[in-house]
Structure 1
Amino acid sequence: MGVLIVPGLSVSAGEEHWVLPADRALCLVENREAYLEQRRDVIVIIVDQCPLSDLLAGSGTGLLNFGGVSNVQTGAAAPEDGFDRVISYTADELRCLDMEHVRIEDGVAYLPRRVQC
């Protein structure tokens, strides 16, 4: 299996957690099988695109950004709202990710960057 490299994309997460809106975290967990169908060792997820698991979804419609997501951040700057826009897991980590791993406080979800089964 190959590894997908997305040059120029960075994330704003701290060292231990990805930070997402709670509804996006729920979407990701509920649709993890669709992401696993990519059959890659490392799965890159554009958070605002959930439940679409295809990184280029929407690109054929003339949208200039990944899947029509207008605010994917590049470089070192974090989004103003503090949420991560692009996250990644190994396939094994994503298989194990469930809501028991997710902490939600005031509409903000904290997903572990590394998931252990």
Structure 2
Amino acid sequence: MALLPDVDQALVDYLKAHLLLVPLHGGRVGTKLQSTSPSVRITSLGGGQPWPWEGLPEYQVEWWGGTDVQAKTLARTGEAALWGFLGPIAGGRVTGVSVALSQLWSPDESTARPRFITQVQYRVHPEES
């Protein structure tokens, strides 16, 4: 039995270490909202599994900035980086990407903190497939 890879952690690690993003988010990438901006929050939206050897995980990626310009710069750079998340990851490999929602302006309702939202889906396979 082949297990699909842990894409959640691999995506967090990838965005946290991406050379173009580090100067923009300062390492503040995770699945929980950071109190300091700019930062990136990743939320798993589930996804399909059409075959035992193929998963289609979907994510909402929130690009938070201290200013509108910071949020927009982080979103634009981050979306370009999302397309590079292809190839081997721990426990498997990523073979496809699709951005379903690009740079949706969505400031936080309670704090008005600047934020853009991206929705992305990946195609993944376990190492054994």
Q: TM-score range by the shorter chain?
A: 0.3 to 0.5
* TM-score of the superposed pair, with normalisation by structure 2: 0.30
Q: Which of 1 and 2 has higher RCO (CA within 8 Å, sep 6+)?
A: 1
* TM-score of the superposed pair, with normalisation by structure 1: 0.32
